[in-house]
Amino acid sequence: MELDAETFRQLRRLAPVLDDILNAGEVEHADQAVNLAALAQLCATLFDAYRSMHPDETAQASLNVREPQK
């Protein structure tokens, strides 16, 4: 899936916030939480677009995650 320039810029701007939170294991500052909410919204939008383009692959991946590991 090709990203438009604005979406790519948004991901680049928000990626350091995710990196900081993952490294710290928690949200340390209020601005991180706000930016994390923006990142979550952007990821949800991208997922919805991907799912509409690849519904079968998305459904199969969801099933694979839900199946218990043997």
pLDDT at 69: 63
- Whether the per-residue pLDDT at 67 is higher than 80: the answer is no
pLDDT of residue 70: 58
Amino acid residing at 60:
Q
Q: Which pLDDT value is given to residue 22?
A: 81
pLDDT by residue (tens digit) across 8-66? 888 888 888 888 888 888 878 787 788 888 888 888 998 898 889 889 988 888 888 88
Query: With contact defined as beta carbons under 8 Å apart, do 17 and 36 qualify?
Result: yes
Residue with the bigger pLDDT between 1 and 13: it is 13
Domain count of the fold of the chain: 1
Residue range of the domain that includes 46: 5-64
Distance CA 28, CA 35 (A): 12
**In a domain? residue 46:** yes
Q: For residue 69, is it within any domain?
A: no
Residue 55 burial (CB < 10 Å; 0-12/13-18/19+)? Answer: exposed
In whole angstroms, what is the distance from residue 14 CA to residue 6 CA? 12
